[in-house]
A and B are shown apart, each in its own frame.
Chain A
Amino acid sequence: MNTERAEICIIGGGIQGCAAALELARRGHDVIVIEKDYPGRQSSGVNAGGVRRLNRALPEIPLSVASHKIWERIADHVGDDCGFTKSATIMVCETTEELENAKARAAETRALGYTHEQIISDSEVHKHLPKLDGQVTGALQGIGDGFASPFRTTQAFFRTALQDGARFFLGHRVEQISRSGHWIVETRDSRFEAEILINCAGAWGNQVAGSVGDPTPVHAEAPMMTITAPVPHVTDAVVAFTGRRLSFKQRHNGTLLIGGGYRGHVNPDGYSSRLALDKLAMNARAVLDLFSHLKDVPVVRSWAGVEGMTPDHMPIIGPSLNEDGLFHAFGFLSHGFQLGPIVGQILAELVETGTTDLPIEPLSIRRFR
């Protein structure tokens, strides 16, 4: 059996693991990443690509804002602009009540000192959605938000981490984790030894955490996405609806990327997923309720990516409570892509100093004890 030794071992080569590897390698650490497939195989590569601070849970906002600063100079960071495009990002309100709630939300974040959320009028919403059937009352908009290409982004972090000296073991599925002074991570034909272990295993983060005495209530989910053939202009914005399960954006090539939190089935193997056709049909109906002219638009493909979800829909980021030399960053369902760059930095700071300037305590695994 082949044995590899390093200072730091990261499990999971998604955007979190790649960002952490990049940050640590840049700081001169000897780091290895164990990835069961290849970077971007799961949610990091197939998510909706939203680079959004808008409507984050309050504890996530400081991280999201800090991450956005990295996104602003992403090409300098990873040598590729990752397709990052700024675009109006709006949460559309259809009723007065929804708009009042949005206004309250904007006021709340402003009171906390953040300026990235503001209310726009119904006529401005219609400018972003000229073909919308029906009335709107306004929207909450994220100023400066946008979207990027998820697979390309994850590959860029991977490639840059590799160039900066991180070692990747792709196609290695972790079978066992143990400790005798240092951490021992075993895959089918290799053994990895490291002083520090970082769990970036996404939907399988809880399997890793559970096997080292940090069980969490994270479970696997498979949010579904659908992409259409190119269509004439529908919107220039990244759009979500406050009162409906519907979100979409139109990409540069005219295709519509449609989601809305409809979930497919995670297969019993825990690694693959299947579509839930009834929910997919609901997603299509949600589109046509508001954009009836899209009924003849061909669907090119639908898919479900497996991700981990916590009960409060916020990720777990921070040190283990039981073991020193162990850090977690997983359970990001629908929130992780934009946060990736800053999570890498936070993990590097935790490894080096045991602390970080960003307020991560609300995201600690402690809340599930």
Chain B
Amino acid sequence: MAEGIQFDVDGNAFLAQPGETVASAMLRLQLVPFRFHPVDTSPRGPFCMMGVCHECLIEVDGKPGQQACLLPVVPGMSVRRPLNG
């Protein structure tokens, strides 16, 4: 990877490529599941990658409920997976 964008997921540092969304970077890094569903705690990950299904909701820079598939990784971004339901 020529250029890398540093960001962290759950406190661990990773590199993203230019143009990568949070969802695509996390899938490339095999960071699934993204969350556990609030209704029945079943594990979820990105399904549609186009902003439709709202399955990839994660917390970014302290803000919950972000659609990871629409969000580009930016330097210093801090992602947290709401894995506690």
Contact = CB atoms under 8 A, between A and B. Distances in A.
Interface of A: 229-230, 253-254, 296, 298
Contacts of A298: 64-65
B38 interface: yes
A229 B59 CA distance: 14
B38 A296 contact: no
Nearest first, the 4 closest Cβ-Cβ pairs linking A and B are: A298-B65, A296-B63, A230-B38, A296-B64
A248 B62 CA distance: 25
Q: Using C-beta atoms within 8 Å of the partner chain, give the interface range for chain B.
A: under 10
Nearest to B65: A298
B79 to A, nearest CB: 15
A230 B39 CA distance: 9
Interface of B: 38-39, 62-65
A214 to B, nearest CB: 48
Nearest to A231: B64
A298 B38 CA distance: 13
Contacts of B63: 296
Contacts of B39: 253
Nearest to B63: A296
Nearest to B57: A298
B36 to A, nearest CB: 13
Chain B CB count within 10 A is highest, among A230, A254, A296, for: A296
11 contacts: A229-B38, A229-B65, A230-B38, A253-B39, A254-B38, A296-B62, A296-B63, A296-B64, A296-B65, A298-B64, A298-B65
A2 B32 CA distance: 61
Contacts of A254: 38
A230 B41 CA distance: 13
A216 to B, nearest CB: 45
A296 B82 CA distance: 14
A301 to B, nearest CB: 13
A16 to B, nearest CB: 34
A296 B64 CA distance: 7
Nearest to B62: A296
Contacts of A229: 38, 65
Given A229-B38, A230-B38, 8 more contacts: A229-B65, A253-B39, A254-B38, A296-B62, A296-B63, A296-B65, A298-B64, A298-B65
Contacts of B62: 296
Nearest to A230: B38
Nearest to A254: B38
A254 B38 CA distance: 10
A253 B38 CA distance: 9
Nearest to B39: A253
B18 to A, nearest CB: 28
B80 to A, nearest CB: 13
A146 B38 CA distance: 25
Nearest to B54: A298
Contacts of B64: 296, 298
A231 to B, nearest CB: 10
A293 to B, nearest CB: 12
A298 B64 CA distance: 8
